[in-house]
Amino acid sequence: MRPGSTRAACLALLRRDLLLVWRRRGDTLTPLLFALIVVALFPLAIGAQMETLRPIAVGVVFVATLLAGLLALDSLFRGDYEDGSLEQLVVSPHPLALLLACKIAVHWLTTALPLIALSPLLGELLFLDPALRGLLPLALALTTPLLSLIGAVCVALTVGMQRSGMLLALLVLPLYVPVLIFGAGACNAAQMGLPYLAPLLWLAAGLVLALVLAPLACAAALRISTS
């Protein structure tokens, strides 16, 4: 592999971002603890009875995961923007969209994947229907990359602004609504014994679309943000 080739650049970027996460590995726990606390608040607020918690379990886990992901989203390009690394990516001789896709992949791996791994425990806290134990992580595995990709475009648009956290939430959450409806809808349908494959396929189709388009949109938005 030739140094300076696009493949070498992507590998170097993946390596660097993973190394950065490892150097600040304590930070990756924050979204996990946040999701855990949000889920734990529900039994405290509405009582710990199985008949009240089980119907809302799927929805609460989804919303908690979504909010925890939103919490981690701002850090996606912020550090690179502030220390000038982003400029280096923009002026590098490689497709910016591809480099950003690598960054989004690392971000998903280190923030969303732990949440998916935690989701059975979150479900257990809310008496999740045992029939959904397998489906919930699967639905999350389709939902969270889509959330990361959509979120990345919004982060790219707001990274040039100071204290953009609230604006980012206002921008991102409406776009998350359809993803949430399909993801939680699949689980709810399964809980009621209805066919649940269609919403999952819609999510998969959306994910394929976002995988192609979101990095391109991110690159365009970041070029505006760095100018």
Q: Which is nearer to another protein, 5 or 49 (CB)?
A: 5
Q: Which is nearer to another protein, 84 or 193 (CB)?
A: 84
Q: Which is nearer to another protein, 19 or 45 (CB)?
A: 19
Q: How far is the CB of 96 from another protein (least distance, A)?
A: 9
Q: How far is the CB of 3 from another protein (least distance, A)?
A: 5
Q: Which is nearer to another protein, 2 or 163 (CB)?
A: 2
Written as six digits, the tokens of 44 are 């405290």
Q: How far is the CB of 167 from another protein (least distance, A)?
A: 21
Q: How far is the CB of 156 from another protein (least distance, A)?
A: 15
Q: Which is nearer to another protein, 54 or 94 (CB)?
A: 94
Backbone angles phi, psi at 167, to 5 degrees: -60, -40
Backbone angles phi, psi at 163, to 5 degrees: 45, 60
Q: How far is the CB of 226 from another protein (least distance, A)?
A: 6
Residues that bind another protein (CB under 8 A): 2-5, 8-9, 11-13, 15-16, 19-20, 23-24, 79, 82-85, 87-94, 226-227
